[in-house]
Amino acid sequence: MKLLKRRLSLDFIAFGLLIGIGYVIQLFPITPNMLIGFSVPLAVGFGRGFAEHRFVGSTSCWAGTGEWVLIVIAAHITSCYLAVLSWPYQNFTTVFGFTLLIILLPSVVLSTISYWIGVFAAVRLSRKRM
């Protein structure tokens, strides 16, 4: 039960960071580009993979990956909904459909790779300490 609470805490923290950092970046007077947009899921994915191995311990490889992919998709859906709330002349279907292949698919692939690099880094660090 304690491990489940830790895992859920990591999930909510990762989800909040994906939404929060992405929203804060849009508030800055810089021009948000794809490099900045993809760097957020990469950094959060690495951190979640590292933290998952360090604080939760060894779990199923496929379960952790599937969980991460669901977090990224849920964050993307939430950010599309928040974009529609910010600009009411757009609708959710248009925003989600436009960003599906341009933003969501590369973000899922790249952040999953980053998640695995974080897991492997945590495994390697824990083996060095032994």
Considering only residues 10 and 3, tell me which one the structure prediction assigns the higher pLDDT.
10
CB count in 10 Å sphere of residue 101: 9
Express each pLDDT in 63-113 by its tens digit: 889 999 999 999 999 999 988 988 888 899 999 999 999 999 999 999 999
Find out whether 52 and 59 touch, Cβ atoms under 8 Å.
Answer: yes
Overall average pLDDT of the 5-30 stretch: 87
Quick one: which of 5, 8, 10 has its CA closest to 119? 10
Half-sphere exposure for 11 (CA within 13 Å, toward CB): 17
Express each pLDDT in 25-59 by its tens digit: 877 777 667 777 889 999 999 999 999 988 887 67
CB count in 10 Å sphere of residue 40: 20
Per the listing, tokens 């973000």 go with 107
Residue-range definition of the domain harbouring residue 49: 2-129
- Residue 16 amino acid letter: G
Please tell me the distance from the alpha carbon of residue 108 to that of residue 33, in angstroms, as a whole number.
Answer: 17
Contacts of 38 (CB under 8 A, 6+ apart): 106, 107, 110
Find out whether 46 and 118 touch, Cβ atoms under 8 Å.
Answer: yes
Please tell me the distance from the alpha carbon of residue 90 to that of residue 78, in angstroms, as a whole number.
Answer: 15
Domain count, the chain: 1
Contacts of 104 (CB under 8 A, 6+ apart): 72, 73, 76
